[in-house]
């Protein structure tokens, strides 16, 4: 009986070691960022390439905060802007849009590039989409001609199109108002990427037509007075500020956190 007991114990130990080895392999594989196919999407769109990654989790927190806002009605149309240029608003817009499309209930998301002065969404997605919001608002294209998708379920895009002579006037037009109204009926959430608020008035114009504005701020670069000025301009334009996103933050994550991702 002793030999049988020893054999059974050895077999159980070997099985336990195999299970632990398989678990370690799976955990190691989850930490690897893998590019999907031959995609030309910019590597900074981390929610696309690494849905379970550490940085992606921060965008999921942002998503949760937006979706759980306490108000009379949940915001469906959200403008993303910044005080000045190069604060990361477009990258934030894209990562937030992808993250929202990955939510449990799979909401339908539309991301509009309303920065008709310096639109970058099509470029970051690695697509050649020349016809966009500019042409749509000028009556040169229809919604079906400007809306496009890539390999992300529940997520649709409208690029900025060519730079018009009067972007602010187009964004404040009845055509823009009707577009937003129509899209609210077809999508669960609209995200609108706009130019910085201090140099131009565009984001204030669009913000007044939407449920709220999120301001992107780059840590260590944008001064507090600049942010306050951006807020003043948005308030003057009758835009509701939902909150702020701080980019370019570096911090240490304790080792134990990794084991739970």
pLDDT tens per residue, range 11-32: 556 655 555 544 443 443 333 3
Q: Quick one: what percent of the chain has pLDDT higher than 70?
A: 79
Determine the pLDDT at residue 219. Answer: 87
pLDDT at 238: 96
CA atoms within 13 A on the CB side of 93: 35
Radius of gyration of the chain (CA): 23
Round to whole Å and give the CA distance between 201 and 234. 9
As given in the structure block, the two tokens for residue 186 are 């077809």
Angle between helix 54-67 and 89-101 (nearest 10) = 80
SS3 category, 238: coil
pLDDT over 90 percentage in the chain: 66
Report pLDDT for 5.
58
Q: 103 Cβ partners below 8 Å, 6+ apart?
A: 63, 67
Helix (H, G, I), strand (E, B) or coil at 137: helix
pTM of this prediction exceeds 0.85: no
Predicted confidence at residue 20, as pLDDT, reads 52
């Amino acid at each position: 009986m002793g030999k049988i007991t020893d054999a059974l114990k050895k077999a159980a130990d070997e099985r336990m070691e195999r299970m632990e080895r398989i678990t370690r392999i799976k955990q190691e594989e989850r930490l690897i960022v893998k590019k999907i196919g031959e995609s030309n999407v910019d590597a900074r769109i981390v929610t696309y390439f690494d849905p379970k990654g550490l940085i992606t989790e921060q965008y999921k927190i942002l998503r949760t905060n937006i979706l759980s806002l306490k108000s009379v009605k949940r915001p469906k149309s959200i403008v993303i802007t910044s005080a000045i240029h190069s604060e990361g608003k477009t990258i934030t817009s894209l990562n937030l849009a992808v993250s929202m499309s990955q939510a449990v209930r799979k909401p339908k998301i539309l991301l509009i590039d309303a920065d008709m002065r310096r639109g970058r969404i099509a470029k970051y997605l690695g697509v050649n989409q020349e016809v966009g919001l500019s042409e749509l608002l000028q009556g040169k294209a229809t919604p079906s001609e400007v809306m496009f998708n890539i390999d992300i379920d529940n997520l649709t895009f409208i690029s900025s199109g060519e730079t018009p002579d009067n972007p602010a006037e187009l964004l404040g037009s009845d055509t823009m108002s009707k577009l937003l109204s129509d899209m609210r009926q077809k999508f669960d959430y609209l995200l609108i990427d706009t130019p910085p608020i201090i140099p131009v008035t565009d984001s204030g114009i669009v913000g007044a037509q939407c449920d709220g504005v999120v301001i992107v701020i780059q840590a260590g670069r944008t001064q507090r007075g600049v942010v306050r000025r951006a807020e003043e301009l948005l308030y003057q334009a009758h835009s509701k500020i939902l909150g702020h996103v701080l980019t370019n933050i570096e911090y240490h994550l304790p080792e134990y956190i990794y084991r739970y991702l």
